């Protein structure tokens, strides 16, 4: 079986080498880039299973690289930032990243996040292959599990793998309220931390893509103090 390939763009040589050594020992094949230009070139030349992007890179920064990758691929992307601020985290997720990790980080934490992203991405593809021509239709939405595609009234909506998973969970269960803990456990496969705002960020991003008016959502509803649910006219009571 071929090794899973990771692209790691990081300008700090010590971190770059430490992560490369650690992940190589874990059985992954790692390509590294010290700047954004090389990172983009490597992405164009090779097929990767997951990408790790430092936000602050010389040349093209991690945000720009993420935007460019998202125009042609749904490969999982984990953003890495040295700034422990919500601005950088939200910005990274807002442009299509699937997760983030803040420096300094433990190698085992990084490995756990990589495995979680790879597991979700692979399982999603596996599920689609097992359910040939499976399409979920509800309200104005169609989710094609084979084509990994979402349409709203025949208009294709570009989603990240994480956004796709969250939307699929909600749309597959119209009217059911999911707590943040339930969504997090289903999508991330990990225990939910109350201070983690991943769910809120992804829901906000999803609304900008699927709602007619994201500030007044009619499909993804907030159930205050509990979580979120999908609602459409045919299921509203």
Any domain includes 145: yes
Q: Which of 107, 124, 141 is at the close of a domain?
A: 124
SS3 75: coil
| 53 close to 29: Cβ distance less than 8 angstroms | no
Return d(Cα 237, Cα 223) in angstroms, integer: 15
- pTM beyond 0.75: the answer is no
Chain center to CA of 201: 11
Judge if 143 and 119 occupy the same domain: no
Q: Is residue 237 part of a domain?
A: no
Residue 49 lies in a domain: yes
Domain span at residue 212 reads 131-230
Residue 153 lies in a domain: yes
Indicate whether 63 and 167 sit together in one domain. no
CATH, residue 68: 3.40.50.2300
Q: pLDDT tens track of the chain, all 237 residues? A: 578 999 999 999 999 999 999 999 999 999 999 999 999 999 999 999 999 999 989 999 998 999 889 888 888 999 998 876 655 665 666 677 888 888 889 999 999 999 988 887 776 553 333 333 477 888 899 888 767 789 998 899 988 888 898 998 898 888 889 988 888 888 776 666 655 678 888 999 999 999 999 999 999 999 998 899 998 764 443
Pair (120, 135) in one structural domain: no
Q: Using CA atoms, how far apart are residues 203 and 216, in angstroms rounded to an integer?
A: 13
97 and 11 in a common domain:
yes
Task: Tell me whether the omega of the peptide bond preceding residue 104 falls within 30 degrees of 0, making it cis.
Answer: yes
DSSP 223: E
Question: What angle, 0 to 180 degrees and rounded to 10, lies between the N-to-C axes of helices 107-130 and 180-188?
Answer: 80
Instruction: Please tell me whether residues 88 and 167 are part of one structural domain.
Output: no
Pair 21, 108 in one domain: yes
Contact 232, 139 (CB under 8 A): yes
- Last-in-domain residue among 124, 154, 177: 124
Whether 236 is in a domain gets the answer: no
CATH number reported for the structural domain that contains residue 217 in this entry: 1.10.10.10
Assess whether 41 and 105 both reside in one domain. Answer: yes
Q: How many structural domains are present in the chain?
A: 2
Cα-flanking dihedrals φ and ψ of residue 5, to 5°? -105, 135
Q: At what angle do helices 198-210 and 86-94 cross, to 10 degrees?
A: 40
Closest to 165 in 3D by CA, of 180, 150, 176: 150
Residue 120 and residue 10 share a domain: yes
Return the residue matching tokens 């430490």. Answer: 18
* Residue 155 and residue 108 share a domain: no
| Domain shared by 10 and 100, yes or no | yes
């Amino acid at each position: 079986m071929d090794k899973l390939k990771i692209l790691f763009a990081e300008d700090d040589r010590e971190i770059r080498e430490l992560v490369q050594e650690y992940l190589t020992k874990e059985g992954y094949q790692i390509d590294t880039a010290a700047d954004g230009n090389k990172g983009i070139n490597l992405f164009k030349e090779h097929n990767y299973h997951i990408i790790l992007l430092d936000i602050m890179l010389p040349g093209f920064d991690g945000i720009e690289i993420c935007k460019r990758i998202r125009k042609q691929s749904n490969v999982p992307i984990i953003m890495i930032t040295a700034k422990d601020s919500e601005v950088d985290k939200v910005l990274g997720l807002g442009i299509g990243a699937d997760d983030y990790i803040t420096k300094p980080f433990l190698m085992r934490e990084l490995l756990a996040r990589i495995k979680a992203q790879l597991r979700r991405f692979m399982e999603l593809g596996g599920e689609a292959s097992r359910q040939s021509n499976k399409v979920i239709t509800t309200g104005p939405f169609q989710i094609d599990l084979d084509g990994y595609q979402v349409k709203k009234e025949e208009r294709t909506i570009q989603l990240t793998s994480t956004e796709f998973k969250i939307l699929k969970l909600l749309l597959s269960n119209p009217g059911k309220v999911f707590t943040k803990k339930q969504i997090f456990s289903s999508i991330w496969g990990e225990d939910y931390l109350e201070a983690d705002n991943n769910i809120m960020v992804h829901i906000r991003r999803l609304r900008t893509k699927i709602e007619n008016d994201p500030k007044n959502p009619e499909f993804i509803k907030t159930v205050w103090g509990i979580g979120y649910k999908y609602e459409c006219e045919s299921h509203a009571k």
